[in-house]
Structures are given as C-alpha cells and as structure tokens.
Structure 1
Amino acid sequence: MDRKEVDLIVGSTLFDPDYYLRSYPDVRGNGQNPLMHFVEWGWKERRNPHPLFDTDYYLRNNADIAKEGINPLLHFLLYGAKEKRNPHPLFDSQYYLEECPEAEKKEWNPLVHFIKEGCKAYCNPHPLFDVRFYLEKNPEVAQSEINPLIHFVEQGWKEGRNPHPAFDLNYYLQQNPDVKEAKVNPLIHFIEYGWKEKRRPHPDFPIGNLESIEAFSQAFVGPSSQFDFMGATQFSLLWSLGLRSCHYLLDFGCGALRAGRFFIQYLQKGRYFGIEPNRWLIEEAIKHQLGEDTIRLKKPVFDHNDRFCVEVFGIDFDFILAQSIFSHTGSDLIIQVLNNFKRSLKEDGLIVCTFVEGDEDFVGSGWIYPEIVRYKPETIHSFAQSAGLFIRRLKWYHPRQSWFLLAKDKRRLPDPKAVELLSGIVLYEPEFEEGWKERKTIIPLLQNLQEQDKNELLNSFSYAQLDPFYIQLDKHYVRRTKNICLIPSEKNRRGGKYSYGEWAHVIGIFQTLFYFNLENKMANKILDVGCGTGLLAIASEPYIQDGGYYVGLDVSKEDIQFCLNHYPPAQFKFIHFDLSNSLYAPDQNPKLRPWPLEAHQFDLVTALSVWTHLREEEARFYFKEIRRVLKPQGRAIITFFFLDQIYKESLLRRSFGEQGSFHRTDQGRWVFELPVSGSEHWRCPQWAKIPEEAIGIDEQGLKELMEESRLMQLAYYPGNWKEIPGIFFQDIFVFQPE
C-alpha cells in the first residue's frame, strides 16, 4: 500500500487507533503502530479498524473483494461507499442516504457523514437503529456526546439498552437462550439470521409478515408484499364511497402510512389526520415513502396517543377509517372506540372499518395486537347498535378481513344495489404459504368466478360517480420522486372538463390502480398513447422498477413540451407525434406512418380516450401499431364508445335533457347515429361539429380491428355512459397479441 492510500485511511476517520489497540491487546503489547499493523496484517486477520467497520462482514458480503485480496477498508473508501456497499451489519448505506439525502447530494461517504454530521441530525444508519430513540432513552449517552451507534455496538447491547422501539433486547434473549449463550449482539443476530428463522424481535411484532429487513416498518402493519396493494385498495374504497379532496379524514391506526401516503397526496392541505401510538412508524414513512416536501405542502396532522381517543383534534370528520383495528380488539374496547368515533363524526359522515368474521366470538378484552380476534356477523352488528350507529357489510375485496360501513344517518349507507357494485375485486392476487412466508405463484382469480360474476365484477369506482357534489376543480398536486410537481389545472384539459384539477388526479390514480391490479405490477415498460400532460406518468411512477420506463406519445406539442419540462428523463420519455387530428392538432402532418418506436418493446400500451377521437382509417392503422410495439405477452388497455347490445338497450332508458344516472353529462348526448366518412361501423352523435369530437364503433368494426391487428380481447368493462354502473365513463377493453 502506497503513502497516498495510507493517508486516505488516516484522513477518513475510519481508522481509530485507540479502538484498535483497545480491541487487540496483542498489538498493544507488542508496541506496534496500530495503523501499520492493520495495513500490513490486521485486515488479513479480519481485524476491525473502527467500531463501525466490520472487516469480516465486508469481506463475507463482497466475495469479489475477498477473492482479489484488496484491503476492505481501502476498497470501501475508494469504491464501496459510492457503490453503496455496507460497512457493518448495522449500517445500511442506501437506507442512510435516503435518511439524509444531503449526504448523497454532496457526495459524502455515508459512514463518514454519519459519524461526523448525521447522528447529530438524528439520521438513522439502519432500519433497526433509531438514533433519537436511543438518545432519549439514554440521556447520559447524549450528554457524553458519544456516537450512539458506536456506544450501542461497543457496550450498549451488553447493558440491555434497546436500539429501536420495536426491538426488545431482553425479550429477544429470553426467547432465544442460544443467542444469549453465544454472547453475540442480539440485534446483529436478528438482522443476519433471526428474522429468517422467524425469531420475534418484540412481543408485539408480527414476525410472520416480515419478508426483508428493509421492509421492517411495513411488516409491523401487515405482510410487506401486500403493503402497496392494501394502501391502494383503501384509497379506492373511500374514493368510491365519495371521499373528495375537500373532506376531513381520520386514519385511525395509520401505522406506516400504508394508506396515508395515498390520502395525504390526494386531500387538500390540512385535511388528513392520523392517530398512531408508534411514532417511529410515521417518521419512517415520511422519510422513505412520502418525503418532507409532501409533508410541508399537505400539512397532515398526527397524534400519538394510545388511549383510542379521537377528540384530540377538536374537529368532526367526514370519514373515519379503521382498517385492521377491530381484528385486534376485545368487545369492550370496540364499543368504546365506536362511541368515540361517533362523537367525532359529522352527521352525514361515514366510518369505514374491518372485522374478521368467525363462527365464534372472541372472549377477552382490551388491545391484543398482534393476535387476531374473530366475531360472528350478528355480534358485529350489535357493536354498531350499542354505539347508536347503522351498519352495512360491504363486498369490497380484502384478503383476510371483511369491510363494514357505519353511519349516524341510515340514509348515508348505500342501498343494497350500490353495495353490489363495490366489489373491489382484483384479477390477480399473490398466493402465500401459511404465515405469508414466500410468494409462490400468481392465481388468476377469474377462473374461480361464475360467468355471471365475471360480467358483474366490475366496479370499484361506480358508487362515487353517483355523487358529483364534492368534485373540486382546483389545483392538482402530485408526488414525483419525493418532490412536489404542481400542475396547473388549466394544463389538464385533454379529457374534457373532468380532466381539470382534482379530476385529472383521480383519472391518473384510477389508471394506475386498475392497470396494476390487473397485471399485478408486471407492466414495467409502459407506452401511454395520448399521454396529454402525463397523468398516468405521475400515477405510475412508484410502480416502475429498475430498468423500466414510461413513454408518452401525443399529437399536442404544448402538452409534450410541458411533460419534457417537468419530468425526469431517466424514467420518463415523451414524444411529439406530428400527426393531424381535426380536434387536437388540425394543422399537423396528415400522413399515417408508424410510431417512432421499436417493435416488441412494451409490457403495457394504454390509450385513454384516444380511439374515441380517431376516424376509421386512423383507428385501423394505429391499432396495428399497438400490436407491433407490444411484447408477445404484453397487454393493451384501450377505451371506446362501443355500440353493442348494452348500448342499444340503454337507448330505451335515457331521459333526454337530464344528467346521467351514473355520469355527469346529458344522457341524450351519447347517441351515435351518423356514419363517419360513410362507414357503417363508425358513427358519431348529431351534435358533433366534427366527427372527432366523439366516435363510436360497433361490434363488427371492433371485430375487424382485432382480426387485422392480430390482437385478441381478454376483457371488456362497459362504461357508465351507457346508463349502467361502470369502472369508467368510456368502455374499457383489454387486449393481448394472438
């Protein structure tokens, strides 16, 4: 090792000579220079240069370095830190840089930054070491100004000092006498071995949910593999029940913001309230799920009381959500909580909650998390009656529990027909072994449905469309890579008046939830035809994995330029396609030609309200383009005005001049009578000044489209423009290459 490399080690602060001599008395006894000993022999003997650099751990986890015989500390200083390799079992470089993005921005070595700066700012080095918690519980450590992680590694664990609210050292050692006998650091044992062996770190921790250390906080509230789904389905349900951005929502037991991260972004500033006794869960979610920018902009309000008190906020709520609360609660506490809810619920408000139904009632009291309790359906109804509330069971899909809706006013409960619409069904669902140990396969749930159910499974979104009162056409706030992108409502005009403001946000979220429920997040490379100002780009960003990307294609120069100015080019690509369209781009090139995209590139092609504005020649040509750019197992999700038998039957139910039963436009607008360009299969309404304002296609026309393009239909969801409940206004079709 040359002098420059030695100087690099000395200047890094990651060689502590006092620690080295204290740890290795043979070196001290021989009077050797500790640095020279480490450089020449110590690292080869797997001795540690610093309490937070574990030589053996680094070499065990980086076989390439061990094989090449490189000094591990030198490698970490030159390359490993930049590559986000971990220097110690209790220091996660990637996690730390998310905790402290300033360190990455300034290109600091993460471990050096933590030692010098980060611990002072309470930046956590690992998901299971909470700096603030450790210092608050051990004030003498804070007063001594010793680095808290170094203190824990060297002596704190031996003294039984807990590193994290959800890790109880004494409990872990009592439950695992082999670990106690081995005299190893219990936290390190858990991180390297214990969690895989399903050893519980805390009496309240549901170890069966844990699928990776990185997902520790998520596992505290449920199976980490279903974290995204459970948050999205709660948002979908409340939106379907009428939640709008102007409402006040209480998320009772908000945990790791599994659902909160959806609601906080959607609701107006200061309208989201959460109660969660475990403060660390919320802090973890803010740092690693939402970002501080979102919190500053949306100003959610949290309380950490464990008394099941909801009156601490001093306001009445439009909605109270209590998912997976009463599945851990004795009957005495259930009645108490429901009475508390009632006192803080508006007269027309709704309580949305879950229970686990069973053949026998749980006999017990209080809070018993993480154990699961069951109650008979009639008992659940009696709980509501005891609190003076009306109750109705919902059919909304939940993998383990049942959804219930409670209200002060019986008229606020949807009628049985509306309840039938609220299925919340997903077409694919991961299957797990008992205890949610590992993903085994993807089960197509449709194969288990009767044909009648398939035709009626639709709508997670219909009921909300019955109540347009709360639609607010205000500004559209979105999350993008932990920063806030503010899209003015006037930019979101491509889908008619409901593409403005909040409705644009709803459409974007709707697209994401529907697409990724359908495909179980398998669509990693997405083409959005008619992307407009990028609603789907915004909504799909959290789902695009490494190596994936989104491509938006549109005829509007203005919209594409807006997207180019506002979206990072690494994951989002936008292409202006110079094609004439009488409605959106009348002055552009009228010549039909292929999209500037390689063949067989995309997992998913989507076109929302595009083929409803294309004449027959254009529609046929570009339907073939969909087939060309799709992967063999890809999917295309396209919307039409489909003039089938359901449409014909709807003509008999229309009341001209009145608003639609399931949409907000005149029922009489959606009658397609006039042939477009002489075609018998393509029609437009009489009111259309130009056909491109609204074009419908009949069954034969769609059949010809599919035959010419060699795309086969996988699913069809009628839209509510046909005077029936539907997922969306237009008809949704799912296609796959033959």
Structure 2
Amino acid sequence: MELIVDSSLFDPDYYLRSYPDVRLNGQHPLVHFVEWGWKERRNPHPLFDTDYYLRNNADIANEQINPLLHFLLYGAKEKRNPHPLFDSRYYLEECPEVEKEELNPLVHFIKEGCRAYHNPHPLFDVRFYLEKNPEVAQLEVNPLIHFLEQGWKEGRNPHPAFDLNYYLQQNPDVKQAGVNPLIHFIEHGWKEKRSPHPDFPIGNLESVEAFSHAFVGPSSQFDFMGATQFSLLWSLGLRSYHFLLDFGCGALRAGRFFIQYLQKGRYFGIEPNRWLIEEAIKHQLGLDTIRLKKPVFDHNERFCAEVFGIDFDFILAQSIFSHTGSDLIILALNNFKRSLKDDGLIVCTFMEGEEDFKGSGWIYPEIVRYKPETIHSIAQSAGLFIRRLKWYHPRQSWFLLAKDERRLPDPKVLELLSGIVLYEPEFEEGWKRSKTIIPMLQNLQDQEKNELLNSFSYAQIDPFYIQLDKNHVRRTKNICLIPSEKNRRGGKYSYGEWAHVIGIFQTLIYFNLEKKMANKILDVGCGTGLLAMASEPYIQDGGYYVGLDVSKADIQFCLSHYPHGQFKFIHFDLSNSLYAPDQNSNLRPWPIESHQFDLVTALSVWTHLREEEARFYFKEIRRVLKSQGRAIITFFFLDQIYKESLLRRSFGEQGRFHRTEQGKWVFGDPAYGSEHWRCPQWVKIPEEAIGVDEQGLKELMEEAGLRQLAYYPGNWKEIPGIFFQDIFVFQPE
C-alpha cells in the first residue's frame, strides 16, 4: 500500500466521490480498492482506468494482478497506457528526460508535466485547452482531469482538430450513450471513419498517432506525398543553398525532407494551424533538427508571402488551390509574384475539371475544380507564365509558374519529369500499381528519347550549375560541397548528380538515426567523400565521421580536402582487382574498434566484392555497429523486380529511368563460380559489377546477425527509384 500512496495515483476523495457505497459502508477507500475495488474494476484515480488497463493487457487480467500495482512496478517501464487519454509512449517522446531518469510518465504528468504544457495524448492539447478556457486555467487544476470530469460535458474542445459538438451531432448514437466523445473516437470512432471535425475528412486513418498526418490528406499517402514533392523540386533545380517557401506546409509532410536538405535558415513555411507544425516538430523532426536547421514559420491566414521579407527561389503550394475560390487564387499568385526572385519558380497543384467553381473564399474539406484554360488565364492575369507538368499526383495536376518564360524548362525536358518516387516494399502491390499510374515518355520516339536521356544534364534546369561547378562553392564555412570533376569517383557524375545523392542519403541517414546529432558514422569505401558531406549535419556536438577506402589516392584527396577533427580517413591495405590490384590480398578485420558506430554506410562497395569478401566484411559491419545501430548498404539485388525488368526489356522497354543499353544489366554469369553471386557478360573482371540473389543476401544476413529494415529498389532495374543501385537498411539482430 505504501507504494500506491507514495505514487499519488490513488485519490481517496475521488474514490469516495465516485463510489458512495464505500463511504456508506465506512470502509477505508485505499483498503477497499486493494482488497475488492480493482477486482470490481473501480478506478483509483481519474487518470487510471482499471477496466481499460485490464482489457488492453490480457496477461495482467489472466494472472489476477492488481493493475495499479502492476503499472507502478512494471507497466510504466513497459510503456503500457493507464488510460485511453494517456499515451505513455507519446508522453515520453514529449519528455525524453522522464524516460532517461526512469520516472513514471503518468506521475510526472500529474505533478509537473501538465504545468509545463506537456501533452498526455496526440488528441489532448494542454495549452490549447487552457488558452481557450481561461476560467479553467485560473482554477489551477489538471486540465485533463477537468476535461474528463466536466469539460467534455460542457462542450470544451480538447484539441484544435476535435470538435465535440460536431462529433455528437454527426453521431447521435454516441450522444445517446452519454459517453465521452473523445474517448469514443480513440477507441472506436477512427476505425469506423467517423470525422472529428467539419474540416477533417478522416478517410483511411491508419492509427490515432497518424491524426495530424490525416488532417492534411490521406494518412496512408503521407510519406509518398512528401517524397514526391521533394523529388519534383529537386528535379526542377532546387539546391541546398536556395530559399524555399512551403505555402500551407501543414504537418511538414514535405517540409521534413526540405528542412533536412536545405542549408540553415533556407526553409520557410506558412501554416495557419500552428498545432500541425508543433506536432511535426515534436514527433517527426525533433528540436535538435530545428536548432540545427533553423526553419522559419508564420501562421497568417491572409495568403501573404511577404511576411518574411525574403525573395524566394521556389514557392511550393501543394493542395491549396484545390480548396480556394478564384478570388483567393488571384490574391495568392499576386502575393507570390512579389516574393519571388526574377528567376524563381512557383510549383503548385490544381484540380482540373470540365466546369469552373463559381464560389469564393476558402473551401475545405471540399474540393474545387477549374478548367485548364481558366487556370492558365488566372496565372496570366497575375503576370505569370505557366506550364503544366506530367509529374504524377494521385488526384491533382502539377503546374509550374514563373515571371520570366525563359525560366520554364524546355517542353522536351519536362517530358522527363514523370513522377519517379520511392517504391515502398510493404505495399505488396505497389510496383504493379506504379506501372499503371506513372506516366512514361510514351509520346517520344526512341531516337528522341535516347537523345534527351544522353544529353540531359542539370545545367538545363539549373542555370547556376556551371558557375557553381567552376567555383567549387562551399556548403558550409568549413567543408566543400563538391570536389572538382577529376576528383569525383565515378568519373562522369555531374555536379547535380552528386548533389542529388547527397540529399537522398542525408534524408535516409536522418530517418535511420535515433539521434539527430553527435553520431559516430563509418563510411566504408568513402572514395572522395560523397557521404562525408551527407553525414556532416549529423556529427555535430561530439560526433565524428570515419572514412575507410582501399584507394590511396582517394584517401589522400580526403585528407587534404576535409577539415580535421570531425573527419578522419583511413587507407585500408586490401587488394581489389578494380580499385587496388597491387595491395594485400589477405582478408582481415578493419582497423576499427568493436561496437563503436551508430551508422555504417557503404555506397557501391558490395557491388564490387567477391563472395568471400562480401561475407567476411558483412560480419565486420555487425562487429563495429552498436546494438541499436543501422547500416545503409547498396547492392545489385537480383530479386523478383529484377526478373520482371528482364521480361520488360525483352519487349524493348529499356532506357526509361537510366541511360542503360539493351542487355547491359543482365547478371547471368557466376562470379568466380559462385551460385548466388553473378556478374554481367560485358565485364572484363567480375569486380566491375557483382550482383547477389535473394538466397545469397539471406545467407549474408544470417551469418552476420543483421536483419533487413528497409529496401529501396534502384533504377538500374528500369523502375522508379531514387538511386541507381538498390539501397538496403540493416540493423543488428
């Protein structure tokens, strides 16, 4: 009993008030609860729901353990939820110091957290509740307890996106049942697709945690829409030094990509719903990222882009004009024009239709449509040139606007922008769908297509490319952005391709590192430092990067090119027929201490290793990784997607996503007699290009004690992909 008393999770006044029979019988409330109350599923505190805890923890119910005692001894540490409106995992993300100090999250919230405006659940906003109800704030009571005991009955909303009265009006069965509508929504309503707000078409909400995602569109497409917007703007010439305005940035579905990629202070977002940005910062980006990248936000509802006093290189407005009358479109485009550089671009979407919407103002969540000629006319009335893009969008159409018509890419170049995005393997039918929904270069003859693909360079859509390449500009004050062309390993890679790979791997690194700063990163096969630049933002404040390579020339270049301290480069004396044929041929461990690194990367390394080398050094990855570390490795992976690509190529469908020759990437010959490791017929030595099949990769992982977390197929297979080779993410078993 002493443990329960000390915890503050037994409220005797609440218990007697809730169960008057205990008072009438003259029983001590705590004794009653310990001996009989919990078995009768009575609650010891407004924020501990005995029935809920036992219903959601069958192991506790089956063993007839006092649920409150279990929560105090074990449940809190196991992040079990004590109440429908207290999410332990969510709260610990809000307050990482609570978990670090091994405190009980519910006790912390009751004693301290609520006063510091820490939220107990994604759908209860403490600050919002108190600001909207100042009389409650004056009472100095716990806002969540107030809401549970009387606030919901008085129609006080718990969150900007949850309207109690609307929910009850739309769901008379809930009103008749007399239950708390928010609890009903959390336990049942979201699964039944009941909308919590007139401006919130809930659709297929994947979980309550995805609530803020769904507020800005289908939650199942949250990642997809963010990735495709980043990919589009990068393809249109966005570089890390540009200034970007993300108009209507919402829950940062695209912003989380752009903020990572752009240099400090280059991302600007406008979003009237402040809570969406706050949720995204807390639970997706993290405060470390905000401190490092310093994005700037404004919450005006006036469609005003001039509030920042910045002239932007790019202005993005995705799914804005599909909810506005023509009056607001004209207002927005005129405002955009005043805040756009002379050579800047506006990238936006419209919903095309056969008739024009006749209304005015902001229309949400309804969708409005405009005829294509009307869209062009509106843009021209604002003094802007406009061009429609073929870039894939599941519902709308992309448009490109500019002050100067010469800034709009050539129509033939725009044919290349067809909507290539990440393929997500967890969607079993994803690749089959993508073949039908992503438009290809179907209107171009083969000769035109090949000419475009062979001549296409980022100089055509990035007017700064050539000058940047000559000047070797600096990404930060202490590290060069791109080596000169002669020092780029890979030979013909352009400045733009290097910049693209840096951006992609920065994003992958960000999403696979638990910490956002002070990381220790090992880059195997570092070459002339491509991933050193991608790693740089994540090794600040005590972290470091170690590059390892068999090429003496590349290591010497890195030693003279990158600053000492955070960056260390080691020459590894190992023979490789392609890169270092005259060196030591004996397999031996890397000169690296065990369990040292948060991340190991290897870009285009295992595609040049013999099977025995691949097996030996894959085990080395496991040795040097921390227990919760990650490894990002590229392969030529000979899986079902590869086999399908062979079938497509047999019908002459090659060259759509990468400059490949018919039959070039057919891995038919065993590499040194190996059963699962193969090379193409054109190679002079197998190490030029080696692929591994599914069984070979499975054996590799089993021997090393690594498991696969993610797989992003490469565009060498003639499919939509963000990188040429296949990217895998691994974690220790």
TM-score, normalised to structure 1's length?
0.71
CA distance in 2, matches of 1:230, 1:51: 40
Separation of aligned partners in 1, 2:377 and 2:541? 50
Is this contact kept in 1: 2:522–2:548, CA < 8 A? yes
Alpha-carbon displacement from aligned partner over 1:310-344 (angstroms, at most 9, x marks no partner): 11112211110000101111122111111111111
With 534-543 and 159-168 compared, the bigger mean Cα shift is at 534-543
User: Residues of 2 paired with 1:306 and 1:455: CA distance?
Assistant: 47
RMSD: 10.2
Bigger shift: 467-476 or 665-674? 665-674
Distance 2:674 2:34 in 1: 83
User: Which range moved further: 341-350 or 442-451?
Assistant: 442-451
Contact 2:648–2:654 at 8 Å: present in 1 too? Answer: no
Q: Secondary structure at the match of 2:436?
A: strand
CA gap of 1:559–1:146, structure 2 versus 1, over 3 A, is farther
- Structure 1 residues 220 and 477: alpha-carbon distance in aligned structure 2, compared to 1, 3 A threshold: farther
Cα offset for 1:402?
1.1
Q: Which deviates the most, 640-649 or 310-319?
A: 640-649
In 2: Cα distance, 1:437 partner to 1:693 partner: 31
Moved more, 208-217 or 583-592: 583-592
Distance 1:587 1:145, change over 3 A: farther
Distance 1:28 1:556, change over 3 A: farther
Aligned length: 733
Residue deviations 1:441-496 (CA, integer Å, cap 9, x gap)? 99999999999999999899954675372599999999999999999999998668
Question: Could you tell me how far apart the structure 1 residues matched to 2:653 and 2:439 are?
Answer: 40
CA distance in structure 2 between the aligned counterparts of 1:673 and 1:436, rounded to whole angstroms? 24
Once the two structures are superposed, residues 495-544 of structure 1 have per-residue CA deviations (whole angstroms, 9 ceiling, x without a partner) of 68989999567435069789999999999999997466997799899999
Residue 602 of structure 1, CA deviation: 20
SS at match of 1:158: helix
User: Alpha carbons of 1:18 and 1:447: their partners in 2 closer, same or farther (altered >3 Å)?
Assistant: farther
Stretch deviating more after TM superposition (163-172 or 728-737): 728-737
Cα deviation, residue 134, structure 1: 0.6
Q: Distance in 2 between matches of 1:699 and 1:192?
A: 41
SS at match of 2:591: coil
Q: What CA distance in whole angstroms lies between the structure 2 residues aligned with 1:263 and 1:363? A: 35
| Cα separation, partners in 2 of 1:459 and 1:508, compared to 1, 3 Å | farther
Aligned CA distance change for structure 1 residues 97 and 645 (closer, same or farther; 3 Å): closer
CA contact 2:261–2:507 (8 Å) conserved in 1 = no
Larger deviation: 651-660 or 144-153? 651-660
Q: Aligned residues: percent identity?
A: 90
CA contact (8 A) 1:348 1:412 kept: yes
Segments of 5+ residues of structure 2 without an aligned counterpart are none
Measure the CA separation in 2 of the matches of 1:36 and 1:701. Answer: 63
> Residues 100 and 297 of structure 1: is their aligned pair in 2 closer, same or farther, counting only changes over 3 Å?
same
**SS of 1:421's equivalent?**
coil
* Structure 2 contact 392–439 (Cα < 8 Å) conserved: no
Instruction: Return closer, same or farther for 1:182/1:688 CA change in 2, 3 Å cut-off.
Output: closer
In structure 2, relative to structure 1, the CA distance for the partners of 1:515 and 1:123 (3 Å cut) is closer
**1:141, distance to aligned residue in structure 2 (A):** 1.9
| C-alpha distance in 1 between matches for 2:703 and 2:8 | 68
The CA distance in 1 between the partners of 2:61 and 2:207, in whole Å, is 26
User: How far apart are residue 618 of structure 1 and its match?
Assistant: 9.5
Distance 1:592 1:492 in 2: 28
Q: CA deviation at 1:8?
A: 0.9
For residues 25-81 of structure 1, the C-alpha deviation after alignment (integer angstroms, 9 at most, x for no partner) is 111112211100000000000000000000000001111111110000011111111
Residue 76 and residue 562 in structure 1: after superposition, are their counterparts in 2 closer, same or farther (change >3 A)? farther
Q: Quote the offset at 1:265 in angstroms.
A: 1.4
Instruction: Give the alignment partner of residue 446 of structure 1, picking from 414, 425, 441.
Output: 441
Give the Å deviation of 1:577: 7.8
Kept in 1: contact 2:420–2:438 (CA 8 A):
no
| Separation of aligned partners in 2, 1:566 and 1:659 | 39
Distance 1:441 1:207, change over 3 A: farther
CA contact (8 A) 2:465 2:495 kept: no
- Cα 1:206–1:445, aligned 2, differ >3 Å: closer, same or farther? farther
Deviation at 1:188, TM superposition (A): 0.3
Residue 87 of structure 2 corresponds to residue 89 of structure 1 = no
Distance 2:645 2:62 in 1: 73
Residues 454 and 583 of structure 1: CA distance in aligned 2, closer, same or farther (over 3 Å): closer
**1:63 and 1:381, CA in 2 relative to 1: closer, same or farther beyond 3 A?**
same
SS in 2 for 1:439: helix
CA separation of 1:400 and 1:67: change in aligned 2, threshold 3 A: same
My pick for the range that moved more, 646-655 or 393-402, is 646-655
> 1:602–1:298: structure 2 CA closer, same or farther, 3 Å change rule?
closer
Partner residue in 2 for 1:45 = 40
Q: C-alpha distance in 2, partners of 1:32/1:76?
A: 24
Give the 3 Å change call, closer, same or farther, for CA 515–564 of structure 1 in structure 2.
same
Take 1:443 and 1:204, find their aligned partners in 2: how far apart are those partners?
30
Classify 1:677/1:298 alpha carbon distance in 2 versus 1 (closer, same or farther; 3 Å). Answer: same
Q: CA deviation at 1:362?
A: 2.1
* Alignment CA distance shift 1:136-1:498 (3 Å): farther
Residue by residue, what CA displacement relative to the aligned partner does 1:361-381 show, whole Å, maximum 9, x if unpaired?
Answer: 222211111111222211211
In structure 2, relative to structure 1, the CA distance for the partners of 1:68 and 1:615 (3 Å cut) is closer
Residues 306 and 572 of structure 1, relative CA distance in 2, 3 Å threshold: same
- Check 1:281–1:604 CA distance in 2 against 1; reply closer, same or farther (3 A cut): closer
The alpha carbon displacement at 1:412 in A equals 0.3
Spell out, residue by residue over 1:263-313, the C-alpha distance to the aligned partner (whole angstroms, 9 max, x if none).
Answer: 111112111110000000000000001111111111111111111111111
Secondary structure at the aligned position of 2:711 is classed as strand
Q: 2:119 and 2:709 mapped to 1: Cα distance? A: 48
Q: 3-state DSSP class of the match of 1:714? A: strand
Distance 1:147 1:585, change over 3 A: farther
Greater Cα shift, 535-544 or 66-75: 535-544
**Whole-Å separation in 2 of the counterparts to 1:24 and 1:107:** 33
CA distance in 2, matches of 1:39, 1:564: 68
Aligned partners of 1:65 and 1:72 also within 8 Å: yes
| Cα displacement (A) at 1:133 | 0.4
Higher mean displacement: 274-283 or 600-609: 600-609
The structure-2 alpha-carbon separation of the partners of 1:159 and 1:604, relative to structure 1 and needing over 3 Å to count, comes to: closer
Aligned-pair distance for 1:140?
2.0
Q: State the SS of the aligned residue for 2:727.
A: strand
Question: CA, structure 1 residues 628+340, in 2 after alignment: closer, same or farther (shift >3 Å)?
Answer: same
Contact 1:530 1:610 in 2 (8 A): yes
C-alpha distance in structure 2 between counterparts of 1:452 and 1:265, whole Å: 39
**1:198, CA displacement in angstroms?**
1.4
**What's the counterpart of residue 175 of structure 2?**
180
- Relative to structure 1, is the Cα distance of residues 152 and 463 closer, same or farther in structure 2, using a 3 angstrom cutoff? same
After TM superposition, the structure 1 stretch with the greater mean CA deviation from structure 2, 32-41 or 373-382, is 373-382
- Alpha-carbon spacing, 1:191–1:375, altered in 2? closer, same or farther (3 Å): same
The 3 A distance-change label for structure 1 pair 63 and 660 is closer
Of stretches 635-644 and 497-506 in structure 1, the one that deviates more from structure 2 is 635-644
Does the 8 Å CA contact 1:476/1:488 hold for their aligned counterparts?
Answer: no
**Could you give the per-residue CA deviations for residues 421-442 of structure 1, whole angstroms, max 9, x where no partner exists?**
1112348579999999999999
Equivalents in 2 of 1:39, 1:273: separation in Å? 55
Which residues of structure 1 form unaligned runs of 5+? Answer: 1-5
| CA distance in 2: counterparts of 1:434 and 1:102, whole angstroms | 42
In 2, the alpha carbon distance for the partners of 1:452 and 1:662 equals: 15
